[in-house]
Amino acid sequence: MNAFLFPGQGSQEVGMAADLFRTDPEFRTLVQRASHCVGADLEPICLRGPEKTLCRTVYLQPLLVAVSLGYLRHLTARGVKADVVLGHSLGELSTLAAAGVVTFEEAVIMAGKRGELMDKVASRVRGGMLAVTIQDGHHLPELPDNVVIANDNAPTQIVLSGELDALDALARRLGHCRKLAVAGPWHSPFMAEARREFAAWAETLTFRPPRTRLILNATGRSENNPQLIKQHVTDTLAGPVRWRMCMETLRALSPAALFEVGPGRVLAGLARVNGFGNDVRIIHVNNLRGVELAAAQSAVGGK
């Protein structure tokens, strides 16, 4: 069994997908569609930055989805198919396209709108996120009202989201934590307005039944009902990512290989700390060379 995992914000780097820009007209068309949505030429931002511009939520979200889907198309063209798909936070939009719930173009347009709304709300809140390592024998203290658990990533890692002053105070108490380079308090009640506006906008979109098993962040479980999928994907704008539960559900399916499709290697690390041992192959598909290696390893693994 093959599982495809799609990364979210934090996995990007300036220059990502340079090989796709050089060789793949369909990918360039997808990025051009994203550029039209956000009112900026995203190709030079992706290839040359600067990093501060690339990391702007309104630009980064459609770019990350386009890059992940660009490599996905090459991977499936080489005959590597997924039995189950899941994505972390923003990566869930890539998952929807991978499962056939929406088209590739629709996923990129959704990412553009999502980024626009999140960026707008974040500009009015002095908020951020804090990654915390939970050490053996330690427990998270009671959180203030303006801080919530945004990502339950693993038994040893959570991400808090909230007002910066409160996060700074917690960081001084906790230790073993680091601020994330994000523009706002994602996956928290501070994003309620973005969630409401995204839900209203998404009413015009048609979600289709998934063709591939799909595990959702909001529940950590599989879902086939298109309306529930839309609701859950929308709800995570202001609610937590239950990635540890997603990993538990995936482990129960006993996949032989995990393909991290898109920039970076964040999800591979999270898979290992969530109990996936060396008996499960983790294959990185973050460039076209990775596509070739993935196809070769999949062929060997399938014998």
CATH number of the CATH domain containing 131: 3.30.70
Whether residue 119 is found in the same domain as residue 132: no
pLDDT(35) > 70: yes
pLDDT for residue 301: 56
Q: Last residue of some domain: 144, 161, 179?
A: 179
pLDDT for residue 137: 60
The answer to whether residues 30 and 65 touch, using CB atoms and an 8 Å cutoff, is no
pLDDT(303) > 50: no
pLDDT for residue 134: 87
Whether residue 132 is found in the same domain as residue 260: no
pLDDT for residue 26: 97
pLDDT in tens, 43-52: 999 999 999 9
Q: Is residue 89 annotated as a catalytic residue, yes or no?
A: yes
Whether residue 152 is found in the same domain as residue 197: no
CA distance 17 to 76: 17
Whether residue 192 is found in the same domain as residue 173: no
Q: Is residue 187 annotated as a catalytic residue, yes or no?
A: yes
Whether residue 146 is found in the same domain as residue 262: no
pLDDT in tens, 243-290: 999 999 999 999 999 999 999 999 999 999 999 999 999 999 999 999
Whether residue 54 is found in the same domain as residue 194: yes
- Cα 44 to its chain centre, rounded Å, is 22
pLDDT for residue 300: 61
pLDDT in tens, 158-212: 999 999 999 999 999 888 899 998 889 999 999 999 999 999 999 999 999 999 9
Q: Which of 187, 232, 284, 298 is catalytic?
A: 187
What is the number of domains present in the chain? 2
CA distance 2 to 40: 36
Task: Look up the domain containing 237 and give its range.
Answer: 2-123+188-301
Whether residue 131 is found in the same domain as residue 117: no
Whether residue 165 is found in the same domain as residue 198: no
- Cα 176 to its chain centre, rounded Å, is 24
Whether residue 203 is found in the same domain as residue 276: yes
CA distance 133 to 272: 15
pLDDT for residue 28: 97
Domain with 47 in it: what CATH number?
3.40.366.10
pLDDT tier at 57 (50, 70, 90 boundaries)?
A: very high
The answer to whether residues 17 and 27 touch, using CB atoms and an 8 Å cutoff, is yes
Strand-pairing partners, residue 257, are 2, 281
Mean pLDDT confidence for 98-102: 98
C-alpha separations of 197 from 8, 35, 192, 202, 237 in Å? 21, 21, 9, 9, 11
pLDDT in tens, 127-163: 999 999 988 767 788 899 999 999 999 999 999 999 9
Q: Which residues contact 247 (CB under 8 A, 6 or more apart)?
A: 154, 270, 271, 274, 275, 276
Whether residue 112 is found in the same domain as residue 21: yes
Whether residue 14 is found in the same domain as residue 112: yes
Mean pLDDT of the chain: 95
Whether residue 112 is found in the same domain as residue 232: yes
pLDDT for residue 297: 84
Q: Which of 89, 161, 188, 298 is catalytic?
A: 89
CA distance 165 to 128: 10
